[in-house]
Structure 1
Amino acid sequence: MINAREIKKAAQGISVLYVEDDNDLRQNTARLLSTLFSSVTTA
């Protein structure tokens, strides 16, 4: 089973584009994604 530490290590250096219409959901999800990925862009 993969753990959070392994996911974070694998995700370093990866940029993510997250697209969501709902502003609150977009902000909260982007905050969560930014704990794993080096760059998170929202639209």
Structure 2
Amino acid sequence: MHEIVIGTPEELAAHAELMKKHPGMEHDEPHMAHVPPGRRATNS
């Protein structure tokens, strides 16, 4: 799974630390996107 997160450097660092503790966690936030390998996605 590919993930993109938009935020400030501080927010991204905090997110990275959280993901280290919970590597399988998925998000449902408007500033995050998940796209399976080999697929495309759009945010409409």
**Alignment TM-score, normalising by the size of structure 1:** 0.38
Larger RCO (alpha carbons 8 Å, 6+ apart): 2
Task: Tell me which protein shows more helix as a share of its residues.
Answer: 1
**Alignment TM-score, normalising by the size of structure 2:** 0.37
